[in-house]
Every structure is written in structure tokens, then in C-alpha cells.
Structure 1
Amino acid sequence: MTSEELQKIENFLRRTFNSPTISVRMRPKKDDSAEVYVGEEFIGIVFKDEEDGDYNFNMAILDVDLED
């Protein structure tokens, strides 16, 4: 993924989730995906589908995160 793609995805996620602290960062040794953070907390990965050019955001929600 190019830096231009990362910026577009970051802008989209910030608008969608109304959160200016979301950042999208390149992954070491990977060019088909990027890491998504809120502040310094890792929350998921964005993958690029090379066949159709779409992107897929994958976020795991851990059981311990749901506890009050």
C-alpha cells in the first residue's frame, strides 16, 4: 500500500468514527496491509484486495475488553 492510500484510509476512518487520534501505519515487511491505531493502542489491520482494489478492515474484540 502506498503512503497516499494509507492517508486516504486514515482520513476515512477518522471521519467515520469521529476520532482524530486514529492512525494507519505501514506494517514491517508487508505491503498488502497496514496497522490501525487509536492513539498508541493497536486496534486492527486494513488489508488491500489486489483483485478489485477494495480494502477490508479487521478488528478483534477481546473478551477482557468487554468487561466493565
Structure 2
Amino acid sequence: MTPAERAAVQAHLRRLFGNNRIAVMAPERKGASVELRVGDEFIGTIHRDAEDGEVSYAVQIVVLSEDLEMPN
């Protein structure tokens, strides 16, 4: 994903969720997934898909069970 694509996806997600702390970060190593963060916390990845001239971006959010507050 290019820097311009990352910036556009980040701006869209910030508007969509009303959260300016959302950050779309370039991967540390080539070929790795683009990271989705809220502040300093990693929350998932973003994957680019180009098929038949159409481009889309899939967001995968990770929720660890240890982070959940379970009702009694």
C-alpha cells in the first residue's frame, strides 16, 4: 500500500469512527501487513485487494479475550 493510500484510508477511518487517534502505519518489514492502531495500541491489520480494476481495503481487527470485560 502506498503512502497516499495509507493516508486516504486513515482519513476515512478517522471520519467514519470519529476518532483522530486512529493511525494506519507502514509495516516494519517489506511485504508485511499494514498496521491499524488507536494511539499506541495495535488493534489489527489492513489488506489491499486489487481485482478486475477495483481496489478495496479489508480491515481485520483483533480482540484478545484477556482484554474483554466479561459480565457476571
TM category, shorter: 0.7 to 0.9
Distance 1:59 1:30 in 2: 19
Instruction: Give the aligned partner of residue 66 of structure 2.
Output: 64
Q: How many residues align?
A: 67
Displacement of 1:50 in angstroms is 2.3
Structure 2-normalised TM-score? 0.83
* More strand by percentage: 2
Instruction: Give the aligned partner of residue 30 of structure 1.
Output: 31
Which blocks of at least 5 consecutive residues in structure 1 are unaligned? none
Which blocks of at least 5 consecutive residues in structure 2 are unaligned? none
**After TM superposition, which residue ranges in structure 1, 4 or more long, deviate above 3 angstroms?**
none
Structure 1-normalised TM-score? 0.87
Structure of greater Rg: 2
Code of the residue aligned with 1:48 in structure 2: it is R
